[in-house]
Amino acid sequence: MTTSNVVTIAPDGVDIDILADKFVVGASIFVPCINTERAKRQLRELFALGDKKLVFRVCVVDGKYGMRVWMIREKPVKRGRGSGRKR
């Protein structure tokens, strides 16, 4: 594809195009692949996230083995008084 917002990963040697503009906080994608560790590594390299985080789950969707990936916002952990924990 020639669009500039498309990124490509190839965990198993076959190109998989991802529309980077559509992969926002709250969105998920399914990446059909066998080598899920390589896919995870490639996605982490492509999406330097700052306050966002990628969550990965290996799964089977419609008979295809792969990985579901969500982009979520990292929430700061409250510490100290008033953190909501009951003792």
Range of the domain at 19: 6-73
Q: Look at residues 52, 5, 9 and name the one whose alpha carbon lies nearest to residue 32.
A: 9
How large a percentage of the chain has pLDDT more than 90?
56
DSSP string, 13-41: SS-EEEETTT--TT-EEEEE-S-HHHHHH
Residue 20 lies in a domain: yes
Whether this prediction's pTM lies above 0.85 is answered by no
Residue 84 lies in a domain: no
Structural domain count, the chain? 1
Residue 52 lies in a domain: yes
The secondary element (H helix, E strand) that includes residue 66 is: strand 64-73
pLDDT (tens, 9 = 90+) of the chain, 87 residues, equals: 445 689 999 999 999 999 988 888 899 999 999 999 999 999 998 887 677 889 999 999 999 999 999 999 877 666 666 655 565
Whole-Å CA distances, 67 to 26, 36, 82, 87 = 16, 7, 38, 39
Residue 32 lies in a domain: yes
Residue 18 lies in a domain: yes
Phi–psi pair at 51, nearest 5 degrees: -90, 5
